[in-house]
């Protein structure tokens, strides 16, 4: 998925990147779910840690919300599965 990263990938969620993680997660699910053999997808909200190092609650909160939206997409996808995960 690396070639599809948008220019604002390194922006903070609070600075305009909000929702990008879930958008990329959705695209990954769409692409990878076409594989009849299944897939493994790792989604990380790595910028949460950056905000924590700065002791910046607003930064951490915005990043947690961004990750939560991506996890919600993954849970919705998993709930529709008819085979064991």
Lowest mean pLDDT among 8-12, 38-42, 55-59: 8-12
Cβ neighbour number for residue 44 with a 10 Å cutoff: 10
Measured CA to CA, the distance from residue 59 to residue 75 in angstroms comes to 24
Question: For residues 4 and 18, which has the higher predicted lDDT (pLDDT)?
Answer: 18
Q: What is the pLDDT of residue 38?
A: 87
**54-63 mean pLDDT:** 92
Q: What is the pLDDT of residue 57?
A: 94
């Amino acid at each position: 998925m690396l070639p599809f990263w948008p220019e604002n990938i390194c922006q903070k969620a609070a600075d305009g990147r909000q929702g990008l993680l879930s958008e990329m997660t959705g695209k990954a699910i769409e692409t990878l779910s076409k594989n009849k053999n299944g897939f493994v997808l790792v989604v990380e909200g790595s910028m949460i840690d950056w905000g924590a190092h700065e002791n910046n609650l607003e930064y951490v909160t915005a990043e947690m919300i961004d990750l939560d939206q991506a996890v919600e997409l993954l849970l919705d996808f998993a709930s529709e599965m008819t085979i064991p995960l």
